[in-house]
Amino acid sequence: RPAACGTFLDVTHVPLAGRFLTTGPPWKFPLNLQAAIGAYYDFESPNISVPSMSFVEDVTIGEGESIPPDTQFIKTWRIQNSGAEAWPPGVCLKYVGGDQFGHVNMVMVRSLEPQEIADVSVQMCSPSRAGMYQGQWRMCTATGLYYGALLTEPVKFRSRVWSLFQPHLSPVQLIWQCSKSYL
């Protein structure tokens, strides 16, 4: 019997993402059964419209801004439905990686009409230690399909001592200012 041959796009393994795999004799070509089954169902199923989203601007806490440690803040992004169709109901903004500031990992977002712009906000809390941190968020449909630009919040969290530092203060005044901030 002749071996079945075909070409499939491997989208299941991150190191191999986007690499075409060809089936055939196992000693000649790698085989990815999961990609083959997925390709079959993709071919047989009706076209699924994927929503589109574009980042417009940071509304609060822009890149390079700093926040004191252990501080509650609200991060707001301005986004746009850059597609030709309205977003389906039940879309949300989900935390997908990096540093997480607080306990919120998902925020529901209303369905936007094509080209409509909206602000999306997440309640966060800065870490207790100074440094550079970055979290990553993405839009997601109710069925779990991620779409649109990756939203990040690269934020510098400064220590209380350095946030109060003023070059014109004497060392004694600086110590008094710092200890006063902790009272």
Q: Secondary structure of 34-96 in the HEC alphabet?
A: HHHHHHHHHHHCCCCCCCCCEEEEECCCCCCCEECCCCEEEEEEEEECCCCCCCCCCCEEEEE
Distance of CA 101 to the CA centre of its chain: 13
- Is the pLDDT confidence value at 18 over 50? no
pLDDT band at 50 (very low <50, low <70, confident <90, very high): confident
Q: Report the amino acid identity of residue 137.
A: W
Q: What is the pTM of this model?
A: 0.60
Mean pLDDT (the chain, rounded): 73
Which one is predicted more confidently, 73 or 14? 73
- Is the pLDDT confidence value at 32 over 70? no
pLDDT mean over 134-144? 91
Bridge partners (DSSP) listed for residue 135: 98
pLDDT tens across 142-175, in order?
A: 999 999 998 887 666 665 443 333 444 444 443 4
- Is the pLDDT confidence value at 176 over 50? no
Instruction: Give pLDDT, residue 46.
Output: 64
pLDDT mean over 100-118? 94
Q: Can you read off the two tokens belonging to residue 11?
A: 């989208």
Which regions of the chain carry the CATH code 2.60.40.10?
54-160
- Is the pLDDT confidence value at 19 over 50? no
- Is the pLDDT confidence value at 108 over 60? yes
CATH superfamily of 54-160: Immunoglobulins (2.60.40.10)
Q: Report the amino acid identity of residue 145.
A: L
Residue 179 parent element (H or E): helix 171-181
CB 43 within 8 A of CB 101: no
SS3 state at 159? coil
Instruction: Give pLDDT, residue 175.
Output: 41
pLDDT tens across 111-133, in order?
A: 999 999 999 999 998 888 888 88
Q: Can you read off the two tokens belonging to residue 97?
A: 């990686």
